[in-house]
Amino acid sequence: MEAAERRRLSGELRSVCMRVSRRARFENITDLAPHQFSVLNRLNSESSSPRKLAQIECVSPPSMTRTLTGLEGRGALTRTTDPLDRRQVVVCITEQGRALLRDVRRTRDEWMFERVRCLSDQECAVLSEAQLILEKVVAR
């Protein structure tokens, strides 16, 4: 495939991915803000500290304090002092937090599934292959 054609494809793909993303997010009011979801999602993999979370999320420490306070107030995470270095705080997701995360994912996925279920087997096969390629694209 020529470079010009690839450039056109890139633009179209980027555009359609953004529209899928936008609709899956906006058409489902999950009452969990994007930054809250992102932090909770991160904590689902492993516990962390406010500072590390702020760095990973590219947000200032005070902003992260606020985000954590909100999630803590909803029982989605706990903040405890690190016994080895009492300056640090250990942030852990709770079972309630995990449940919240599952709800959000389910709601978003539901939007997509409603549409994918109407496609032909052949179309699904193409999307299945495409998904693997896009994983490679986004991994870089």
Partner DNA sequence: TATTGTTATACTCTATAACTATA
Partner DNA sequence: TATAGTTATAGAGTATAACAATA
**Residue 60 binds which entry of its own copies, DNA, none, CB below 5-8 Å type-dependent:** DNA
| Window 101-140: residues binding DNA (CB under 7 A) | none
C-beta of 11 vs 75, nearer to DNA:
75
C-beta of 22 vs 115, nearer to DNA:
22
Q: DSSP per residue over the chain, as a string?
A: --HHHHHHHHHHHHHHHHHHHHHHHHTS--SS-HHHHHHHHHHHH--B-HHHHHHHTT--HHHHHHHHHHHHHTTSEEEEE-SSSTT-EEEEE-HHHHHHHHHHHHHHHHHHHHHHTTS-HHHHHHHHHHHHHHHHHHH-
C-beta of 46 vs 121, nearer to DNA:
46
Is residue 47 part of the contact set for DNA (CB under 7 A)?
no
